[in-house]
Structure 1
């Protein structure tokens, strides 16, 4: 018997191959970076249609962003008539939404208070389940892999990327449709004290092997994902590659080309501490979009992908959460011309 050790298994890279937006006033991801175009998505007209009847607002927004993302990844025909062309059994849906069903739950609570449970409409009951958004997207496109919804506060969007990557690395799926959505509504406005973004964003994430096999265009690589007690801990863990790295390779260092944050300038770290990241440029999407909550991390990732479209060799870091939250999430992304 040979005493030679078997080589360590190759790491399954997670890459982004498609992006879709359903954000008021925006059409393409580069508009998250400041590109200006006329028109853009309008929820007043963009959420109509027979396919959206009897669905809650968050699910309608998610469906409106899922199709463009799948089409961008080459997994859906131009008019959608051909249906999903990937392997539905190996495609996961991961959704991030902190307030997606809040209006539905409050509405049903009001009905019960007024008319008892006899006043409830059976068709509306699924809208009180957090996973109704993921379920709606999965059923619309025949995606039968794992279906997951996260609703755990400011880090939720980046956590969704974390779990999508984990599903791919673990071999539970070969493709994941990751959606971040936050609808505006009366209950949401009362809770937050301001309007939410009333939009959605979707990313198609798949293994590098699967993307290469079907000839897909790689837009970005998820080089490392992690959560930590504070910004420094999260960035350090993500820089090391996060869960799933088995080859001991170094991830991008603390100097990045673009830092996507949700912290106002000067609040990233304590004044006496050195900054945990050196960035050539810093962008906070909430400055132009307002409260994004569970959609924020994925909007950050979409902005990074748009950045890589014109700066292929760059790296980006997305971070969400701060001292007032239970954790900070960090995700390193690399342009297609640079590998981790």
Structure 2
């Protein structure tokens, strides 16, 4: 499975180059909540159809637009999008309205629509006319890497020719209530374009694995997931490793153990902020950005994500190190 392109709307800016330069240079962001600067849905997407659109949907629609071409067969193009629990703001809005208003039909339909967990993926597909597989995965920080495994199965079984995979998280008042204080809350959307084969791809996804930490030992779960994907290459060939950045150092210790010779890139929580389900897709974009900045050369990269609720995921890429910005 080949990554042929990526795109990201992030606290670094609305341009892919903003993210690439920011993450490679380690440019610090302001303290406090970190929205995507200067992102106004109506300015990016127009007036029609955006009035009742959630911010997460707008981020997803705008990012997906950069990865689609006029030549794409939309009937064979799908979308696999990650989330933590959907739009927390719209879910709470529905709950509030159901208690404050006398009848269920007094609640605005658009509010109910945006509260559905698969709303962002569905509306993104409808906006762009994508009629291939459409799926929403909810697995916290591990979602992005798990989505790669899901997409791989879809492509290998011939369900689609092209897939967009990633995640979107919005910065709303409701989401601030779930912050754990370990890093500033941030929003954004990162997507990669995946094809079964391509001669001009940026990187090949060699393996993806996920492990459930039944005993609560996330460090061991990360080690197991990493060992599974590294069967496709040897640890001493890994050029860079990057983790999602959990509240403790279990993940970073696991990376240092399994790939002691690799360059460990800063976790996204340190540079970008807490983007929850979007951690994995932003990790992919960060690895590709670092590879491009290092010059063209074949490299192997290890990515891990650890969700404190007990899920660890890992992926290994063979990166070409060519220009990666769409």
TM-score, length basis structure 1: 0.79
- Confirm or deny: 8 A CA contact 1:99 1:188 kept in the other structure: no
Q: Counterpart of 2:320?
A: 336
Matched, 1:88 2:74: yes
Work out the number of aligned pairs and report it: 294
Question: What secondary structure does 2:141 align onto?
Answer: coil
TM-score, length basis structure 2: 0.82
| Distance verdict in 2 for CA 1:191–1:36, change over 3 Å | closer
Q: Counterpart of 1:263?
A: 245
| 1:24 CA displacement | 2.1
Q: Counterpart of 1:98?
A: 84
| Distance verdict in 2 for CA 1:277–1:21, change over 3 Å | same
* CA RMSD between the two structures: 2.7
- Confirm or deny: 8 A CA contact 1:269 1:276 kept in the other structure: no
* Alignment gaps of 5+ in structure 1: 1-13, 77-83, 241-250
Q: 2:207 aligns with which of 224, 246, 250?
A: 224
Report the Cα distance in structure 1 between the residues aligned to 2:94 and 2:249, rounded to whole angstroms.
43
Higher helix share: 2
| 1:35 CA displacement | 6.7
- Confirm or deny: 8 A CA contact 2:245 2:252 kept in the other structure: no
- Confirm or deny: 8 A CA contact 2:4 2:201 kept in the other structure: yes
Cα deviation 1:56-102 (Å, max 9, x = unaligned): 1110111121112x1xxxx42xxxxxxx4211121110001114311
| Distance verdict in 2 for CA 1:337–1:121, change over 3 Å | closer
Matched, 1:33 2:24: yes
Q: How does 1:139-218 map to 2 (within 5 A)?
A: 139-193=126-180, 196-208=185-197, 211-212=198-199, 217-218=200-201
- Confirm or deny: 8 A CA contact 1:181 1:294 kept in the other structure: yes
Cα deviation 1:133-181 (Å, max 9, x = unaligned): 1111111221111100011222111111111122112221111011311
| 1:258 CA displacement | 1.1
Question: What secondary structure does 1:297 align onto?
Answer: helix
| 1:196 CA displacement | 3.0
More deviation, 194-203/155-164: 194-203
| 1:53 CA displacement | 2.4
Q: Counterpart of 1:46?
A: 40
* Alignment gaps of 5+ in structure 2: 29-34, 213-220
Q: Counterpart of 1:313?
A: 298
Q: How does 1:46-65 map to 2 (within 5 A)?
A: 46-48=40-42, 49-51=46-48, 52-65=50-63
Report the Cα distance in structure 2 between the residues aligned to 1:25 and 1:269, rounded to whole angstroms.
24
Report the Cα distance in structure 1 between the residues aligned to 2:230 and 2:156, rounded to whole angstroms.
17
Cα deviation 1:240-298 (Å, max 9, x = unaligned): 3xxxxxxxxxx122231111112379533779x98122312332111011111100001
- Confirm or deny: 8 A CA contact 1:182 1:196 kept in the other structure: no
Q: Counterpart of 1:304?
A: 287
Report the Cα distance in structure 1 between the residues aligned to 2:113 and 2:303, rounded to whole angstroms.
33
| Distance verdict in 2 for CA 1:325–1:24, change over 3 Å | same
